[in-house]
Amino acid sequence: MLRVLFFIAVVALFGIGFAWIADTPGSIVMTVAGREITVSLMVAAVALVGIVVAIMLTWWVLNVVVTSPQRMQRFFRARRRDRGYQSLSTGMIAAGAGDSVTARRMLKQATGLLNATTEPLIQVLEVQATIAEGHHTEARKKFEGMLDDPELRILGLRGLYMEAKRLGDRNAAKHYAEKAAELAPHLAWAGTAALELKTAAGDWDGALRLLENQKKAKQLEAEPARRKRAVLLTALSRELLEKDPSKAKSAGLEAHRLAPAFAPAAVVAAQACFRLNDLRRGVHVLEATWRKTPHPEIALAYVNARPGDSAFDRHKRAQKLARLKPNNIDSSMIVAQMAMEAGEFADARKAVAAILRNEPREGAFMLMADIEDRETGDQGKVREWLARAVRAQRDPAWTADGYVSETWEPVSPISGRLDAFEWKVPVERLGPVVANDLDPMTPGGRAAAAEAPVTEALEAPAEEPAAAEEAVEEKEAEAMVIDAEIVDAPASESEPAPKAAPPVPPKPETPKETAPGAVPAAEPVTTDAVTEEAVVDEPEPPKAEPAKSEAAKTETPKVEPSKPQPPKAEASKAEPPRPEPPKPPAKPKDAGAQDAAEDIRPPLPDDPGIDPDAQPDEPSRRFRLF
């Protein structure tokens, strides 16, 4: 646009000048070879301009003719260079995409079109093509050759650093990164790599110096630089805590000043103050950080600030901490834990109940199991709380790159990245979270509920004596069948008792066989499944088996005369019979009769969802863990 305006201005000036000359009267008289020539001023000006233009045009034509060979040479050279750079561009793209064949072909074209000694990109394409082909040893040699060229030295150092990192040689990677940082302090990758390698080696002082150099070179902004310095100072303070508490205190307090909400910095600074008997300063640091970001480690350091405090004193300090940050999960957790240790189980249950209402998670259920174990010792209730803890939401933990650590660490063990650990909930397990249906304020609630059916069954009125005696006789008859003795029932009451088969050891894994025609034993009316399973699952002592065998040989099962008598069967060839429809349950006459009936009670199905009177298709092989 400026050129157009300049051209218009020049044309306007020329127009104005020619107009002024045309309006100005006058003539020019020239004497040439004795002849006098008179022309007007306008004609003389036009002639002068024409002569100048003719001279310039002649000079341009002569210049083009004389310099045409050089011009043609420059043209073809530029065209060759453009083709070479186009080949380099295509080759670099192919090498970045992993196409080693195209990269090598483009390299050959670029080498033929460009001078390799004056064009460094040809060496870069060559080493990239070598890496794409998988020849890393040859690539390292080429990177080492670049160290002699000042223009390619930084590129060679980065290539050697990447190769050392790929091979896992941290010492070599540290050497190349430090050398690149010395040559070019403004390089972000060199400074970051050297910083990570120094922190991985535990050189906190060297990492702090390098961080200061990066800050001066303006590689890092102010806030990230403050955060990294706080992390490094926290790591240094933790390392010096045992050896030099004074230096640890100064480093920890500086870290706390740089990052007031950083929990590990507050904890290590407070621990250093406690070691130097500066209790007030340490407590102030913990309280300041607790107000910003509550953390379990801060709570534990706060309640254990004074060594030798009683459980009651620690409980009071936990309550004070909870008042600083009310309605918080971590506040309720530390109060519940300290109340449990102090024996204040009501306060502990109240704190855990608040957690379960707001955010039920694994730690709350585990703590509730500990409270139940200490207060009541009810192992059934403890197992119920633990079962809910297994499927509950996990507690937050220090996590970095998928790795979960019990304590905070300055460097990730997976990637070596500084300040990688975060306090968050790890990756959740698959499956739904079980909702809490237990009341934490009711100790032993399930045990009290389970005793009610048993009490009702014991207080139920007894039936007639005849029915009770009949039930006892039937159970005695079936008891011999349970002991794997199949007895041939006599045809009538006057026939002698048959001989019993030899006793067979009972197998708890398979159900007992019942003789054909045997009447199922009557069961007492009760809904307590726990009592029934306890009676069935209780194994009899081995010493009682011979006594039962003798009793089986001498006693004869009583069978009602009105019922049809079953045929004889061999013990070894007996198959599971089809039992008759069960009779109505008979109740014992008194407590003694009831105990006798329970002692000879047949085994019940293990699964409470199966009807005990149902006809099985085949012998069941179920079992229960509890």
- Torsional sign, CA 21, 24, 25, 31: negative
Q: Is 421 exposed, middle or buried (0-12, 13-18, 19+ CB in 10 A)?
A: buried
Q: How confident is the model at residue 61 (pLDDT cuts 50, 70, 90)?
A: very high
Among 39-48, 60-69, 288-297, 318-327, the range scoring the smallest mean pLDDT is 39-48
Residue where the block lists tokens 């300040």: 419
Phi, psi of 501, rounded to the nearest 5 degrees: -70, 155
What pLDDT, on the 0 to 100 scale, is given for residue 352? 93
Residue 38 has pLDDT above 90, yes or no: no
Beta bridge partners of 227: none
Residue 446 has pLDDT above 50, yes or no: no
What pLDDT, on the 0 to 100 scale, is given for residue 17? 81
Give 440 or 514, the one with higher predicted confidence: 440
Q: How confident is the model at residue 165 (pLDDT cuts 50, 70, 90)?
A: confident
Residue 452 has pLDDT above 60, yes or no: no
What pLDDT, on the 0 to 100 scale, is given for residue 119? 87
Phi, psi of 21, rounded to the nearest 5 degrees: -65, -40
Mean pLDDT taken over the chain: 76
Residues 400 and 431: their CA atoms lie apart, in Å, by: 24
* Structure-block tokens of residue 488: 């041939």
Residue 197 has pLDDT above 50, yes or no: yes
Q: How confident is the model at residue 578 (pLDDT cuts 50, 70, 90)?
A: low
Residue 210 has pLDDT above 60, yes or no: yes
What pLDDT, on the 0 to 100 scale, is given for residue 355? 92
Residues 612 and 614: their CA atoms lie apart, in Å, by: 6
Are 279 and 244 a contacting pair, CB within 8 Å? no
* Structure-block tokens of residue 456: 């009702």
- CB atoms closer than 10 angstroms to residue 617: 7
Residues 522 and 471: their CA atoms lie apart, in Å, by: 6
Residue 579 has pLDDT above 90, yes or no: no
Residues 37 and 29: their CA atoms lie apart, in Å, by: 5
What pLDDT, on the 0 to 100 scale, is given for residue 564? 42
Residues 452 and 454: their CA atoms lie apart, in Å, by: 5
Beta bridge partners of 28: 39
Phi, psi of 273, rounded to the nearest 5 degrees: -65, -40
Task: For 102-127, write each residue's pLDDT tens digit.
Answer: 999 999 999 888 887 888 889 999 99
Among 11-15, 263-267, 350-354, 405-409, the range scoring the smallest mean pLDDT is 11-15
Residue 613 has pLDDT above 70, yes or no: no
Distances 122 to 118, 125, 338 between C-alpha atoms, Å: 9, 5, 71
What average pLDDT does range 614-618 have in this prediction? 54
Task: For 456-488, write each residue's pLDDT tens digit.
Answer: 433 444 344 444 445 445 544 444 433 433 334
* Structure-block tokens of residue 451: 């005793």
Give 186 or 435, the one with higher predicted confidence: 186
- CB atoms closer than 10 angstroms to residue 325: 16
Task: For 494-510, write each residue's pLDDT tens digit.
Answer: 344 444 444 444 444 44
Q: How confident is the model at residue 435 (pLDDT cuts 50, 70, 90)?
A: low
Distance of CA 127 to the CA centre of its chain: 39
Q: How confident is the model at residue 181 (pLDDT cuts 50, 70, 90)?
A: confident
Most confident of 184-198, 336-350, 445-459: 336-350
Phi, psi of 320, rounded to the nearest 5 degrees: -65, -40
Q: How confident is the model at residue 216 (pLDDT cuts 50, 70, 90)?
A: confident
Dump the DSSP string for 4-63.
HHHHHHHHHHHHHHHHHHHHS--EEEEEETTEEEEEEHHHHHHHHHHHHHHHHHHHHHHH
pLDDT above 70 covers what percent of the chain? 69
At residue 618, the 3 state secondary structure works out as coil
What average pLDDT does range 604-621 have in this prediction? 50
What pLDDT, on the 0 to 100 scale, is given for residue 598? 47
Q: Is 496 exposed, middle or buried (0-12, 13-18, 19+ CB in 10 A)?
A: exposed
Among 217-231, 275-289, 440-454, 509-523, the range scoring the smallest mean pLDDT is 509-523
pLDDT above 90 covers what percent of the chain? 39
Residues 514 and 291: their CA atoms lie apart, in Å, by: 72
What pLDDT, on the 0 to 100 scale, is given for residue 433? 53
Distance of CA 397 to the CA centre of its chain: 9
Beta bridge partners of 35: 32
What pLDDT, on the 0 to 100 scale, is given for residue 204? 93
Q: Where are the domains of the chain?
A: 469-599
Residue 288 has pLDDT above 70, yes or no: yes
Residues 542 and 554: their CA atoms lie apart, in Å, by: 20
Three-state helix/strand/coil letters over 192-241:
HHHHHHHHHCCCHHHHHHHHHHHHHCCCCCHHHHHHHHHHHHHHHHHHHC
What pLDDT, on the 0 to 100 scale, is given for residue 434? 55
Q: How far apart are the first and last CA of the chain?
A: 94
- CB atoms closer than 10 angstroms to residue 19: 11
Nearest to 333 by CA among 527, 241, 2, 347: 347
* Structure-block tokens of residue 409: 């660490």
What average pLDDT does range 207-217 have in this prediction? 87
What pLDDT, on the 0 to 100 scale, is given for residue 48? 85
Residue 43 has pLDDT above 60, yes or no: yes
Residue 77 has pLDDT above 70, yes or no: yes
What pLDDT, on the 0 to 100 scale, is given for residue 408? 94
